[in-house]
Amino acid sequence: MSIARLVVLLALACLATPVARAETPVAQLVKDRADAAERVFQHVVTAWKTQREKIEVVYTWSVRWLDAVVDRDARTRKQAFADHLARMQDIESEATKLQTAGTVTVLEAAAASYYRIEAELWVARGKR
Protein backbone atom coordinates (compact mmCIF):
# COMPACT_ATOMS: atom_id res chain seq x y z
CA MET A 1 0.00 0.00 0.00
CA SER A 2 1.43 3.36 -0.98
CA ILE A 3 1.97 6.08 1.58
CA ALA A 4 -0.56 8.29 -0.23
CA ARG A 5 -3.26 5.63 0.01
CA LEU A 6 -2.49 5.07 3.66
CA VAL A 7 -2.76 8.82 4.32
CA VAL A 8 -6.12 8.94 2.50
CA LEU A 9 -7.43 6.00 4.52
CA LEU A 10 -6.25 7.53 7.78
CA ALA A 11 -7.82 10.87 6.84
CA LEU A 12 -11.11 9.12 6.18
CA ALA A 13 -10.92 7.33 9.48
CA CYS A 14 -10.41 10.67 11.24
CA LEU A 15 -13.28 12.31 9.35
CA ALA A 16 -15.72 9.51 9.98
CA THR A 17 -18.22 10.06 12.72
CA PRO A 18 -18.29 7.09 15.05
CA VAL A 19 -21.78 5.59 15.11
CA ALA A 20 -23.22 2.32 16.24
CA ARG A 21 -23.59 0.58 12.87
CA ALA A 22 -26.23 -1.82 14.13
CA GLU A 23 -28.48 1.11 15.05
CA THR A 24 -27.85 3.24 11.97
CA PRO A 25 -30.73 3.26 9.49
CA VAL A 26 -29.94 2.18 5.94
CA ALA A 27 -30.85 5.62 4.56
CA GLN A 28 -28.22 7.25 6.78
CA LEU A 29 -25.59 4.71 5.73
CA VAL A 30 -26.37 5.33 2.07
CA LYS A 31 -26.01 9.09 2.60
CA ASP A 32 -22.80 8.65 4.59
CA ARG A 33 -21.38 6.45 1.82
CA ALA A 34 -22.01 9.14 -0.82
CA ASP A 35 -20.52 11.83 1.41
CA ALA A 36 -17.44 9.71 2.11
CA ALA A 37 -16.93 8.98 -1.60
CA GLU A 38 -17.07 12.70 -2.34
CA ARG A 39 -14.47 13.47 0.34
CA VAL A 40 -12.12 10.75 -0.87
CA PHE A 41 -12.50 11.93 -4.46
CA GLN A 42 -11.44 15.44 -3.44
CA HIS A 43 -8.40 14.07 -1.60
CA VAL A 44 -7.25 11.81 -4.42
CA VAL A 45 -7.55 14.63 -6.97
CA THR A 46 -5.19 16.68 -4.84
CA ALA A 47 -2.84 13.71 -4.46
CA TRP A 48 -2.90 13.10 -8.22
CA LYS A 49 -2.11 16.72 -9.03
CA THR A 50 0.96 16.48 -6.81
CA GLN A 51 2.02 13.12 -8.29
CA ARG A 52 1.25 11.16 -5.15
CA GLU A 53 -1.53 9.14 -6.77
CA LYS A 54 -2.40 7.67 -10.16
CA ILE A 55 -5.20 8.96 -12.34
CA GLU A 56 -6.95 5.60 -12.17
CA VAL A 57 -7.54 6.16 -8.46
CA VAL A 58 -9.20 9.50 -9.25
CA TYR A 59 -11.44 7.76 -11.78
CA THR A 60 -12.25 4.90 -9.40
CA TRP A 61 -13.39 7.27 -6.66
CA SER A 62 -15.47 9.31 -9.09
CA VAL A 63 -17.26 6.10 -10.13
CA ARG A 64 -17.73 5.10 -6.50
CA TRP A 65 -19.23 8.53 -5.84
CA LEU A 66 -21.50 8.09 -8.88
CA ASP A 67 -22.65 4.67 -7.65
CA ALA A 68 -23.26 5.95 -4.15
CA VAL A 69 -25.34 8.90 -5.38
CA VAL A 70 -27.44 6.66 -7.62
CA ASP A 71 -27.90 4.23 -4.72
CA ARG A 72 -28.97 7.11 -2.48
CA ASP A 73 -31.76 8.20 -4.84
CA ALA A 74 -32.33 6.50 -8.19
CA ARG A 75 -34.29 9.55 -9.36
CA THR A 76 -31.00 11.44 -9.47
CA ARG A 77 -29.46 8.92 -11.90
CA LYS A 78 -29.35 11.31 -14.87
CA GLN A 79 -27.79 14.10 -12.80
CA ALA A 80 -25.32 11.70 -11.18
CA PHE A 81 -24.07 10.60 -14.61
CA ALA A 82 -23.84 14.24 -15.73
CA ASP A 83 -21.86 15.12 -12.59
CA HIS A 84 -19.46 12.22 -13.18
CA LEU A 85 -18.99 13.41 -16.77
CA ALA A 86 -18.24 16.94 -15.56
CA ARG A 87 -15.64 15.56 -13.13
CA MET A 88 -14.01 13.53 -15.91
CA GLN A 89 -14.02 16.56 -18.24
CA ASP A 90 -12.29 18.59 -15.54
CA ILE A 91 -9.75 15.82 -14.96
CA GLU A 92 -9.07 15.52 -18.70
CA SER A 93 -8.54 19.27 -18.97
CA GLU A 94 -6.22 19.26 -15.97
CA ALA A 95 -4.33 16.22 -17.31
CA THR A 96 -3.74 18.01 -20.62
CA LYS A 97 -2.35 21.04 -18.78
CA LEU A 98 -0.18 18.88 -16.53
CA GLN A 99 1.12 16.87 -19.49
CA THR A 100 2.06 20.08 -21.31
CA ALA A 101 3.88 21.21 -18.18
CA GLY A 102 5.63 17.84 -17.97
CA THR A 103 4.04 16.97 -14.66
CA VAL A 104 2.07 13.90 -15.81
CA THR A 105 2.80 11.35 -18.51
CA VAL A 106 1.17 10.98 -21.90
CA LEU A 107 -0.38 7.80 -20.50
CA GLU A 108 -2.12 9.73 -17.72
CA ALA A 109 -3.51 12.26 -20.22
CA ALA A 110 -4.66 9.46 -22.56
CA ALA A 111 -6.35 7.68 -19.67
CA ALA A 112 -8.14 10.91 -18.76
CA SER A 113 -9.49 11.12 -22.32
CA TYR A 114 -10.69 7.52 -22.10
CA TYR A 115 -12.46 8.19 -18.79
CA ARG A 116 -14.19 11.26 -20.25
CA ILE A 117 -15.34 9.35 -23.35
CA GLU A 118 -16.63 6.53 -21.18
CA ALA A 119 -18.55 9.02 -19.03
CA GLU A 120 -20.09 10.53 -22.18
CA LEU A 121 -21.18 7.06 -23.24
CA TRP A 122 -22.77 6.43 -19.84
CA VAL A 123 -24.67 9.72 -20.08
CA ALA A 124 -25.87 8.83 -23.60
CA ARG A 125 -27.00 5.37 -22.46
CA GLY A 126 -28.33 6.50 -19.11
CA LYS A 127 -26.47 3.62 -17.48
CA ARG A 128 -23.06 2.03 -17.05
What's the pLDDT tens digit per position in 88-113?
999 999 999 999 999 999 999 999 99
For residues 41 and 39, what is the distance between their CA atoms, to the nearest angstrom?
A: 5
pLDDT digits (tens, 9 = 90+) for 35-73: 999 999 999 999 999 999 999 999 999 999 999 999 999
Under the banding of pLDDT at 50, 70 and 90, the label for residue 18 is low
| Widest pairwise Cα distance in the chain | 51
Residue 6 Cα distances to 15, 44, 47, 97, 122, angstroms:
14, 12, 12, 28, 31
Nearest to 110 by CA among 120, 119, 124, 99: 99
Q: Write down the pTM of the prediction.
A: 0.80
For residues 56 and 36, what is the distance between their CA atoms, to the nearest angstrom?
A: 18
Least confident of 7-16, 56-65, 78-87, 95-104: 7-16
Q: What is the mean pLDDT of residues 5-27?
A: 62
